[in-house]
Amino acid sequence: MIQALNNTLFRRLGDGVFVTMIASILAFLYLPVIVLIVFSFNDSSSLTLPLSGFTWKWYQSVFANEDLLRALRNSFYVASLATVLTLVIGVPAAFALDRLNFPGKTLFRRLVLLPLVLPGIITGISMLNLFKLMGFSLSLETVIIGHATALLSVVVTQVFARLQRLSRSYEEAAADLGARPWETFFLVILPNIRSAMIGSALLSFTLSFDEIPVTFFLTGRDNTLPMYIWSTMRRGLTPEINAVGTLIIAASLVLIVLSVSLLKADDER
């Protein structure tokens, strides 16, 4: 009796401890985000409590800030082109790694996947060296090449995983029916790896949009959005950054929902 009571008490206590723990971890993750959002609507230029009243003015100043809007456009330009490049290079690379044998394959695999595990600063300075040596001047285009190189690994790993699960019998059937290799590739394989491609494209777009370490070394006069925000926040903190941040979080939420539903579509296959 006492033993049983002890056991339930113990379990209750244990569960209580766990629930508190989970709640505090979630608080650790989300309270700061709430703080960021709340201060983007706070009518005071200092980020201190108590709150002083509601305002839209930080959002208005964001949309009136020409430098910021230019940086935003630059980021869209860089992230879009970098994503296209990662797909154009990454999908054939994943395909070659999965289905082809060629000398130096192991070295090729290691090289392509290396930026996934290496700190961004290594990719950044190594490409800075190259561009300086070749006499290129730094610009948004060098940033695009840098991002594409760093994020190639994201596309390759995702598409490679999908290709490995793809049964070879489709391709055999296509070949038996007289399809040429490139027809098989475009009409049979590509449609089957579409969700992996879209998913990894979304991921590399997001990562490129947010990238700093590589951009830091490869950009010229033009700034991307994170670089612009960073240079602003090194001068001082303003609620305007909170407003930009809140907008970025809203955009991220849309992307999360998109990618989760894409993953689900993939599971139902």
Give whichever of 56 and 130 is closer to other proteins, judged by the CB atom. Answer: 130
- Max Cα distance, the chain (Å): 83
Give whichever of 25 and 73 is closer to other proteins, judged by the CB atom. Answer: 25
Q: How far is the CB of 56 from other proteins (least distance, A)?
A: 20
Q: How far is the CB of 22 from other proteins (least distance, A)?
A: 6
Q: Taken in order 218, 223, 225, 226, is the CA torsion positive or negative?
A: positive
Give whichever of 61 and 226 is closer to other proteins, judged by the CB atom. Answer: 226
Q: How far is the CB of 100 from other proteins (least distance, A)?
A: 6
CA angle (32, 18, 263) in 5-degree steps: 65
Give whichever of 21 and 187 is closer to other proteins, judged by the CB atom. Answer: 21
Q: How far is the CB of 165 from other proteins (least distance, A)?
A: 14
Nearest to 145 by CA among 117, 119, 110, 115: 115
Nearest to 149 by CA among 112, 197, 95: 112
Q: What are phi and psi of 42, to 5 degrees?
A: -90, 135
Following CA atoms 77, 115, 199, 247 in sequence, which dihedral angle do they give, to the nearest 10 degrees?
-50
Residue 29 in tokens = 């993750």
Give whichever of 27 and 57 is closer to other proteins, judged by the CB atom. Answer: 27
Q: Give the three-state DSSP class for 129.
A: helix
Q: How far is the CB of 202 from other proteins (least distance, A)?
A: 10
| Cα separation, 54 vs 187, whole angstroms | 55
Give whichever of 32 and 57 is closer to other proteins, judged by the CB atom. Answer: 32
Q: How far is the CB of 3 from other proteins (least distance, A)?
A: 13
Residue 249's contacts (CB-CB under 8 Å, 6 or more residues apart) are 33, 36, 37
Residue 267 in tokens = 């599971």
